[in-house]
Structure 1
């Protein structure tokens, strides 16, 4: 379905007119008055959609996947694709939340020119955002490491089912990890789908630990930042260097930096406005001011 020109900001289970939220909006709103604001989002914006966070308050300690593990260890690839298949069944109902919708609304209202995200869940596009810079790629796309053939994650998971009938059903109760995949064991006999073109190793088309953001992607993020009057960080602790690089660019330009996050971030001391709280309610209330 084609997103509407001005995405609505539906009711949310939070209380957007609570005094602390009103104060947050009053502090943030002046940043949007003179020029569009560049927005950088992290995992914290998607937690209200049911996707766990790696580093948020209450999150169990986990080690994100490294690309060298994936490429060098066949057993690791078995666990990865098994977890991806089981997790897809559990996460199939995930939808954009009011925070994602609010960002799309702010873009339609001309308050931002787009969104830069560290997430690979695709929820910003599904919410109606038109300009989305996905710093770490898209989890919906899979590519061959040998011939470069690209296909959809759904097609690869369908191949997984054909090679491993009944596996997903047998592990339906597995725990869901912060990346949306499941934590499964007993994968020694799992068959991993190969590239349908050349038989090579398939991998998600995302930037993992041990890799760098492609220069054209970072340049697109810089372009949004260069035209902005402020930088808003929403739902990110800035534990990943790419986001910190954008903060450095904003500081060199001398524009304000605002933060909405539960828990500390790496740049709290450098923020002009620092909001301790969830992104959903604050962004919803902020977008409602202009809608």
Structure 2
């Protein structure tokens, strides 16, 4: 099939072709950052996205200074995540699930917006930024509670001015050594957002839950993901082995384009809304 979209007429043809695969079928959905850009959350891999050096789990666990720097930057990032609202694409997927068109959503995002939009069967491959866990005893905390503790522990630091976005998409922190970071109130252990860091693997039970959705579907729809992350490509390969048609909706090239029955080079929100309307959701 065509690897992308050209003229508007061609876009309509590809959309109709995708809907033809989805009509009367159970659709498993895999989403990436492109689904949340309309909610104001940046896509760190899309065209024009800033280059950044991610925090690895090895650095986070090995160095208190790295943890201080991470939590400082994460405190700034949480303001964006905490205030973001689901967009039309999130709501369209929730409607399709309620109507029986979608059997569940597998997401690479950590923003929790699918759940907030009303999707009931959501597998968060990389965890959720709204949760924090102790790496020693496994105690879980609400992220907002940790944000409040961070502010309480650093009354002399104006976190609005001490933490600043840098041109490369990272953050600059004034006097990171002066910061105090929260510890687990149960065992005193290291607290970490309940997300998969670089250098970590997706938990086995989480990936199996995602794989189960794909195996139980007739079609795999990928929306807003460049499929650079290996966990997404593993699900694409599972769908291919099970002979599922794969529909990819993403602005720009993805690693899954050659495996797609249909590739729609367009924004996720408007395309998902159009799909939901065509399917009667």
Same fold, judged at TM 0.5 (above)? yes
| Stretches of structure 1 lacking an aligned partner (at least 5 in a row) | 1-17
For residue 60 of structure 1, the aligned residue among 31, 50, 53 is 50
State the match for 2:262 in structure 1.
Answer: 273
State the match for 2:213 in structure 1.
Answer: 224
Moved over 4 A (4+): 18-21, 175-178
Partner Cα distance (1:80, 1:167) in 2: 17
Q: CA deviation at 1:56?
A: 0.3
Task: Note the alpha carbon deviations across 1:130-186, whole angstroms, 9 max, x for none.
Answer: 0000111111111111111111111111111111114323347645987xxx72322
Alignment size in residue pairs: 271
In 2 relative to 1, CA 174–64 (structure 1 residues): closer, same or farther, beyond 3 Å? closer
State the match for 2:173 in structure 1.
Answer: 185
Task: Note the alpha carbon deviations across 1:201-226, whole angstroms, 9 max, x for none.
Answer: 10011111111111111111111111
In 2 relative to 1, CA 177–36 (structure 1 residues): closer, same or farther, beyond 3 Å? farther
TM-score (norm 1): 0.88
In 2 relative to 1, CA 208–90 (structure 1 residues): closer, same or farther, beyond 3 Å? closer
Q: CA deviation at 1:20?
A: 6.0
TM-score (norm 2): 0.91
Partner Cα distance (1:83, 1:49) in 2: 20
Q: CA deviation at 1:90?
A: 4.3
Is residue 21–residue 281 contact of structure 1 (8 Å, CA) maintained in 2? no
Q: CA deviation at 1:24?
A: 3.9
State the match for 1:106 in structure 2.
Answer: 96
Secondary structure of residue in 2 paired with 1:205: strand
Task: Note the alpha carbon deviations across 1:229-282, whole angstroms, 9 max, x for none.
Answer: 111111111111111111111111111111001111112111100000110110
| Stretches of structure 2 lacking an aligned partner (at least 5 in a row) | 1-7
Partner Cα distance (1:236, 1:102) in 2: 17
For residue 110 of structure 2, the aligned residue among 120, 125, 133 is 120
1:241 aligns with 2:224: no
Task: Note the alpha carbon deviations across 1:23-81, whole angstroms, 9 max, x for none.
Answer: 34312111112321111001111111111111101101123221101111211111111
State the match for 2:241 in structure 1.
Answer: 252
Cα RMSD, aligned residues only: 1.9
Is residue 163–residue 172 contact of structure 2 (8 Å, CA) maintained in 1? no
State the match for 1:210 in structure 2.
Answer: 199
Partner Cα distance (2:130, 2:201) in 1: 19
State the match for 2:16 in structure 1.
Answer: 26
Partner Cα distance (1:268, 1:20) in 2: 17
In 2 relative to 1, CA 176–34 (structure 1 residues): closer, same or farther, beyond 3 Å? farther
Is residue 21–residue 282 contact of structure 1 (8 Å, CA) maintained in 2? no
State the match for 1:167 in structure 2.
Answer: 158
Secondary structure of residue in 1 paired with 2:83: coil
